[in-house]
Structure 1
Amino acid sequence: MRNDWGGQTFPHPVGRKPVIGDVLGADVNAPLQSTMRRAADLGPIFEMHIFDQKFVFVTGAELAAEMCDESRFVKGLSPALVALREFAGEGLFTAYNDDTNWALAHDLLRPAFTKAAMQSYHPIMLAAAQELFDLWDSHGKPVDVSADMTKLTMETISRTAFSTDFGSFSRSEPHPFIPAMIAALKAGQRKGSLNAMPGASLLSKRIDKKNAHHLAYVDQLLDGIIAERRAGEVDESDLLGIMLHTPHPETGARLDDVNIRHQILTFLVAGHETTSGALSFALYYIAQNPEILAKAQAEVDQILGPDRDVEPTFEQVAKFRYLRRVLDEGLRLWPTAPAFARSPRETTVLSTGHTMRPEDWAIVILPMMHRDKAVWGEDADQFDPDRFVAENARGRQPHSYKPFGTGERSCIGRQFALHEAILVLARMLHRYDIAADPNYELDIAERLTLMPRGFELTLTPRVPAVVREPSVV
């Protein structure tokens, strides 16, 4: 974990102090955004010292592409992910590369994201979206976009992962599992951030003691669901059923109940936070630009027709190409999982001339790599969905767009997330006209993922246009 890179040095922000290193100038509530500001002119690779820990960051697209070479590099686990392992164990996101359960779970769960499986999730996604729309229609007030998108994606993933309804649209207070899960996550994040500080061990023990009851409740609830399903009839209609009853096709190996719990937690955490953030950023940028809103609504009207209550079929979701570009561009500027770490398989020399050993790791900062002007142009900070039109994307630097991670450890649920997000955007924009507070300035909360904070939309029932000729979007 010490990550000393054999004593090699890199550019660093001004103001480094003895002992504490580059702590001054960092914002503990927005570490990513403060790092982006401080590192704007430091080049494609730089470092920060936080007490005795060395963090090496990559922001250049060409160097990041080099580190995405699976023949030379693998996923690295930063201190934050190591701390998260205490909560999510050997889940797909937090497992070490040589954890046998990672390979087993990955092989077992791939069939859960085939086209046939996605078709079975489609009506569940539609039903959850309709419940949210019914809630909005019943109160008629401006909606807190991030909060409601989080409710929606949590319900979707819980229902598809293990057929459990948390009642997010009917309860006045959230299901106890949700605040317990969030508290356990925050505890892990705090421990990860304290890793390099003097007295970190003592502080970590205090955090563990304070949050032990949250972790115990989460474990107890999920273990109970797993035990109940084991005792019942075989049902492979959701992710839990697949993990419980499907042996590895070659070895016959199965996941044990503890690892199944870790996988469920991984899907709950990663599967709802990232998608809700992606939806929220997309809606923010749509609401800021009347031309983009008009194009998006023209597309949904063309595909769905004049009935605002119609639901898209599974096959129609792939036809919303402009909505997909909007979603992609939002994830370019603000990838909701904003970084990943890489380590070499064996000692190697980077194109920068630095020697990197298997015990070293570097963190690719995606919001900076996605803004590399050498790839994205001088207007890289601007929102433009047409960057993802095929002719504009042709010839672009490989590996320059990585919102779902890279290589064999990239997000296994990518198609699930994209299908859900596009489905929700299509239904929303077909059903409602949206308007944001003109005085709102984008404020980004840094949780486990990135999320707009305090962003509200006023929704007005909409009459879709009757489209007689195909629109060009």
Structure 2
Amino acid sequence: MSSIIEGLSLDQLPHARSRIPILGDIASVDRRRPTQHELELSRTLGPIFERKLLNSRVIVVAGARLAAQACEESSWARCLAGPGEVLREIVPSGLFTARSRDPLWGMAHRILTPGFSQGAMRTYHEAMSGVADDLIADWATAAGGRIDVHASMTAVTLEVIARAAFGKPFGLLGDPPETGTDARWFVQALARILRWASDQTNDLPVVGAVRTRLQAARIRRDITAARGFVDELVRERRASGDTSTSDLLGLMVTATDPETGKPLPDSNISDQLLTFLVAGHETTAALLEASLHYLAADPGLQSGLREQITARGGWDYDAVAGMRGVRNVLNETLRLHPPVPGLFRVARADCMLGDYRIPKGRAVFVLSLAAQRDPEVWGPDAEVFDPERFIANNQRLFPDRWFKPFGSGPRACIGMAFALHEATLLLARLTDSYDLAHVVGVQAREVTPALGLYERGSLRPEPYALLATRR
């Protein structure tokens, strides 16, 4: 008898005690904090459990070893579900939202891959450095040194994409440029679209349908405006006659697919631009906000990073790429607070996942937020922020660790190198230029505020302020 037949059935999966007949787990739904709530459930339900709402069932994989099993490409594949599936209504063939079988995904991936090589990154570094200069200057004008971290990181990450990837300033830092695009309205539209996508996934039945109807007109306007915004970027580049491939927009407008010899249609270029703007800025901003929260809580960590930064002897590409201390802070932040808190996987054939038999075509949700905190592979202090976990000699202490904040397999984030270099540069420049501290009450000066997180498809810190004192 095969092991699959001998395995446990999905009906035997653990679930919340508050399950109600027919309605399912409706009593334990947290639509504002869905993945954080699942993290809490995993501490009592174990490394794999089920969530049920009416006829909808989701298998949640929270244990690191089971997560690794579900990411084996031979037995499992990427599955588009959740907020990503909702965003597909806006960008049907973006790198993140397209089906793997969509020929436009393959074309775009092949055309854009050279745009994330080390040579390309060296070119983007110059634009990123200019944005970093503007960010340092912008913080110097803050009244009383009080920084709105959420607004600042949203602006800087969008501006990096605009200048480095599109060759066009958006005017989000300081005064709008005399030439370029003032995209401040675009930021608000993106925020509303992301919230809508998250609500579509996590809303309760009936209530969600009513909410969607009430928001429909506004969201349609936002989507139309956002599409028009990126369409205009493509039209402007074509009209300029610029045939350079030194940025991502140039690659898409000029290059052809090495397999088919065909160029990307303009509609798909717009899909990719909107994907970079939505996914690229949101995830990197979330990473920077959480990292700054930890830095502000630890003056000793700031001092240690400054010593390493000074030892690198400059701000060129190689110096920034070698700032391992800063990168360790970013990696540990990604471990505890992955901006994309989970990924959906689907079984390619009947298989086993732990003790359970999974039929072909059945999807599971790998909860990165839990798997990357699993004490079985990360140790008993897995919930503690400790960047030294990522020092090369220490990594052997965690041989079974599971760490996939940028996804898994051929559909992993193509922009990982871009995002990490950008975040390393910005975090290092801010740490070098400012002493960072939390804003706390007069009666609680030694108390570090908790890092609150909210969800809108991504996992992002609640807006908070820091005190930045120029060094």
TM-score scaled to structure 1, two decimals? 0.90
Counterpart residue type for residue 101 of structure 1: L
| Alignment of 1:224 onto 2:232 | yes
- 1:30-45 paired onto structure 2 within 5 Å: 30-45=33-48
Structure 1 residue 20 displacement after superposition: 2.5
Structure 1 residue 126 displacement after superposition: 0.9
1:183 and 1:203 mapped to 2: Cα distance?
14
2:268 and 2:9 mapped to 1: Cα distance?
36
* C-alpha distance 394-129 of structure 1, shift in aligned 2 (>3 A): same
Structure 2 match to 1:467: none
- 1:167-178 paired onto structure 2 within 5 Å: 167-171=171-175, 175-178=184-187
Cα deviation digits, residues 100-136 of structure 1 (max 9, x gap): 1111111111000011110111011111111111111
| Alignment of 1:122 onto 2:125 | yes
Q: Is the 8 A contact 2:227 2:274 kept in 1?
A: no
2:123 and 2:265 mapped to 1: Cα distance?
26
Counterpart residue type for residue 466 of structure 2: L
- Identity, % of aligned pairs? 36
Cα deviation digits, residues 10-49 of structure 1 (max 9, x gap): 1111101123211223222222222222332111111111
Root-mean-square deviation (CA, aligned residues, Å) is 2.1
Structure 2 match to 1:152: 156
2:332 and 2:450 mapped to 1: Cα distance?
19
- 1:388-427 paired onto structure 2 within 5 Å: 388-394=390-396, 396-398=398-400, 400-427=402-429
Cα deviation digits, residues 359-408 of structure 1 (max 9, x gap): x1111111210111111110100011111112221263456011111111
| Alignment of 1:354 onto 2:362 | no
2:208 and 2:155 mapped to 1: Cα distance?
34
* C-alpha distance 70-153 of structure 1, shift in aligned 2 (>3 A): same
Structure 1 match to 2:169: 165
Secondary structure of the residue aligned to 2:454 is strand
Q: Is the 8 A contact 1:26 1:35 kept in 2?
A: no
2:247 and 2:257 mapped to 1: Cα distance?
17
- 1:255-274 paired onto structure 2 within 5 Å: 255-274=264-283
Structure 2 match to 1:143: 147
Aligned length: 450
Which segment is superposed worse, 184-193 or 44-53? 184-193
Q: Is the 8 A contact 2:42 2:370 kept in 1?
A: no
Structure 1 residue 264 displacement after superposition: 0.7
Structure 1 residue 350 displacement after superposition: 2.3
Q: Is the 8 A contact 2:372 2:401 kept in 1?
A: no
Q: Is the 8 A contact 1:191 1:207 kept in 2?
A: no
Secondary structure of the residue aligned to 1:190 is helix
Contiguous gaps of at least 5 residues in structure 1? 305-310, 463-473
1:455 and 1:181 mapped to 2: Cα distance?
20
Secondary structure of the residue aligned to 1:132 is helix
- Counterpart of 1:277 (choices 276, 283, 286) is 286
- 1:12-161 paired onto structure 2 within 5 Å: 12-140=15-143, 141-161=145-165
Q: Is the 8 A contact 2:165 2:247 kept in 1?
A: yes
- 1:212-361 paired onto structure 2 within 5 Å: 212-233=220-241, 234-304=243-313, 312-358=315-361, 360-361=362-363
Structure 1 residue 7 displacement after superposition: 6.1
Secondary structure of the residue aligned to 1:459 is strand
Q: Is the 8 A contact 2:95 2:108 kept in 1?
A: yes
1:372 and 1:356 mapped to 2: Cα distance?
26
2:96 and 2:24 mapped to 1: Cα distance?
30
Secondary structure of the residue aligned to 2:222 is helix
Structure 1 residue 189 displacement after superposition: 2.4
1:232 and 1:73 mapped to 2: Cα distance?
45
Structure 1 residue 342 displacement after superposition: 0.5
- Counterpart of 2:379 (choices 377, 380, 387) is 377
Contiguous gaps of at least 5 residues in structure 2? 1-7, 177-181, 440-445
1:131 and 1:190 mapped to 2: Cα distance?
35
Q: Is the 8 A contact 1:83 1:192 kept in 2?
A: yes
1:38 and 1:222 mapped to 2: Cα distance?
41
Structure 1 residue 157 displacement after superposition: 0.8
* C-alpha distance 442-110 of structure 1, shift in aligned 2 (>3 A): same
* C-alpha distance 198-456 of structure 1, shift in aligned 2 (>3 A): closer
Which segment is superposed worse, 213-222 or 25-34? 25-34
| Alignment of 1:366 onto 2:368 | yes
Secondary structure of the residue aligned to 2:43 is coil
Counterpart residue type for residue 272 of structure 2: Q
1:229 and 1:161 mapped to 2: Cα distance?
12
Counterpart residue type for residue 279 of structure 1: L
Counterpart residue type for residue 219 of structure 2: N
Which segment is superposed worse, 92-101 or 326-335? 92-101
Cα deviation digits, residues 244-263 of structure 1 (max 9, x gap): 11111132022111111111
Structure 1 residue 441 displacement after superposition: 2.0
Structure 1 residue 191 displacement after superposition: 2.2
* C-alpha distance 393-170 of structure 1, shift in aligned 2 (>3 A): same
2:218 and 2:470 mapped to 1: Cα distance?
46
Q: Is the 8 A contact 1:431 1:461 kept in 2?
A: yes
Counterpart residue type for residue 221 of structure 1: F
Structure 1 residue 208 displacement after superposition: 3.2
2:12 and 2:215 mapped to 1: Cα distance?
33
Secondary structure of the residue aligned to 1:86 is coil
Secondary structure of the residue aligned to 1:394 is helix
Structure 1 residue 289 displacement after superposition: 2.2
* C-alpha distance 344-317 of structure 1, shift in aligned 2 (>3 A): same
2:216 and 2:300 mapped to 1: Cα distance?
50
Q: Is the 8 A contact 2:320 2:425 kept in 1?
A: yes
Structure 1 residue 431 displacement after superposition: 1.2
Structure 2 match to 1:468: none
Q: Is the 8 A contact 1:87 1:184 kept in 2?
A: no
Counterpart residue type for residue 221 of structure 2: H
Secondary structure of the residue aligned to 2:28 is coil
